Structure 1
Amino acid sequence: MKIRIHTQLDYELSHPTDMLLQVEAAMIPEQTVEMAHINVPDVLHFARIAAHDDIGERIWVRAERRLLVDYRAVVSIERLLGDLTNLPEIPPHQLPGETVQYMMPSRFCQSDQFQTFVDAEFGELRGGQRVVAIRDWVAGHFSYVPGSSAGDTTALETFVKRQGVCRDYAHVVTTLVRASGIPARVAAVYALGVEPQDFHAVSEVFLGGEWHLVDATGMAVEGGMAKIGVGRDAADVAFLSAYGTVKMNAQSVQVEPV
């Protein structure tokens, strides 16, 4: 599948401010970035650095008065797809070293507080069967309500409220999967089917020796997502982290099939 991406950001700055951008589709084996261009005019500093796990890049920007970003890309998604249900989990002692951090609690994914729940709710299910059951449980028990959460809302708070946005769904799925002894992380993606169109967050789980994207909101499918970056939770994949006061004037994300 091939998708076309167009992202625009317009932020007002009260004084010279350092910002970390993560908006470009990652150049990784499972997707080919056929065309890409980012325009960030009139900035004081622009420098690329590696993103989390070397998946994608972040951009350090220092700007004053205003930040304008225009990003366009065409991405061919070549990810191998399969039925999660049949995929086995990897015993912890056989996990690759880079996956171990995704077994542990993080700021927004307090997986250590959910072990009793997952054992009681999902019983003897293992591997992909448990991941699918978790995805479907979250989809059936939570309501997608824009504005119902904030940037500091945790998986535990979302679990209690039973509502949120894509970021919250991803946090809860990631948390419950980690509590089940399976590595899970949050992925920022561009995805077909997201309404209203925006940056999208999903969970990514390690099964059968590979990572697989899981979206409990039901808006996107694995074959229609272009990965931007990954991390322990949403804090690692924010599209804009500002080290100062910024005000959003406008923001738009458009994703369409080619």
Structure 2
Amino acid sequence: MPLAITATLSFVAPHPVDCLLQCEVAGTPQQRIVNGVTTLPAAMPVQRVAAQDGVGERFWITAEGEVSILYEATVEIARRPAELSSLGQVAKTALPGDTTQYLFDSRYCAAETFQSLVEDEFHSLHGGARVEAMRDWIAQHFTYAPGTSGSHTTARDSFVERRGVCRDYAHVMIAFARASGIPARYASCYAPEVTPQDFHAVAEVFLDDGTGGDWVLVDPTGMAEPHETAVIGVGRDAADVSFLTSFGLVDFGGHAVSVERY
């Protein structure tokens, strides 16, 4: 499935400030970048660095004054939807070393606090079947409500409030999975059915697909289908995959995202 993606960001830096951005689609075997261009103010130097787990790239800029960034890309998605209930759980002792970090608590996802809940609620299910049930439970018990959460909202906060946006849904899904002993990470992405259209967030869980295990996209909001999702980057939670991180004061002017089937 080919997607046409456009994203714009604008902000003002009163004084020179280093900024780290991650808004470009990652080139992976499951998603091929047909073309992609990021346009920045003239003469602004860019330093590119590998992103978390080697999925995509971040880039550094030193911003001063008014900054407008335009990203345009066409991406071919080759990812096939997985039948979650058919996937097994990889034994902890058999997990690849780089996945074990995604069993631990992180800034927004205190999984340990959910261990009793997931065991009580999903004790008869394992692996992909449990992930599927947890995804459906979140979808049924949460209300998608823009403006009801912020940059300090944790998975625990969202669970108590039972509302939020994609970021919050993803954090709760990640916390549930980790509490079940299943590695889970946060994925920022673009998808055409996101409403209102914006940068989107989903979870990825590591399950046994018969070849030793692989990462599988899971979206509790139900807005992003794997075969129409273009992943930007991954991390422990939202703190690792912000589209803009400024190491100093900036006045954020806003952003806009458009994702269309091509």
Which residue is 1:165 aligned to?
A: 165
Structure 2 CA distance for aligned equivalents of residues 79 and 44 of structure 1? 35
1:55 Cα deviation (Å)? 0.3
Counterpart selection for 2:235 from 216, 231, 238: 231
| Paired residues for 1:189-208 under 5 Å | 189-208=189-208
Q: Is structure 2 residue 232 aligned with structure 1 residue 219?
A: no
| Pairwise CA RMSD | 0.9
Structure 2 CA distance for aligned equivalents of residues 3 and 28 of structure 1? 15
Q: Is the CA contact 1:42–1:63 (under 8 Å) kept in the aligned structure 2?
A: no
Q: Is structure 2 residue 111 aligned with structure 1 residue 111?
A: yes
Structure 2 CA distance for aligned equivalents of residues 167 and 151 of structure 1? 10
3-state SS in 1 of match to 2:35: strand
1:186 Cα deviation (Å)? 0.4
1:42 Cα deviation (Å)? 3.6
Query: Given residue 177 of structure 2, which amino acid in structure 1 is its aligned partner?
Result: V
Distance 1:43 1:159, change over 3 A: farther
Query: Given residue 253 of structure 2, which amino acid in structure 1 is its aligned partner?
Result: N
Structure 1 CA distance for aligned equivalents of residues 123 and 43 of structure 2? 54
Structure 2 CA distance for aligned equivalents of residues 56 and 82 of structure 1? 22
Which residue is 1:40 aligned to?
A: 40
Which residue is 1:121 aligned to?
A: 121
Which residue is 1:146 aligned to?
A: 146
Structure 2 CA distance for aligned equivalents of residues 186 and 82 of structure 1? 18
Structure 2 CA distance for aligned equivalents of residues 177 and 82 of structure 1? 17
Counterpart selection for 1:240 from 237, 240, 244: 244
Aligned length: 258
| Paired residues for 1:16-27 under 5 Å | 16-27=16-27
TM-score, length-scaled by structure 1: 0.98
Q: Which string of whole-angstrom CA distances, capped at 9 and with x for unpartnered residues, describes residues 84-106 of structure 1?
A: 11100100000011100001110
1:246 Cα deviation (Å)? 1.4
Query: Given residue 249 of structure 2, which amino acid in structure 1 is its aligned partner?
Result: T
3-state SS in 2 of match to 1:107: coil
1:68 Cα deviation (Å)? 1.0
TM-score, length-scaled by structure 2: 0.97
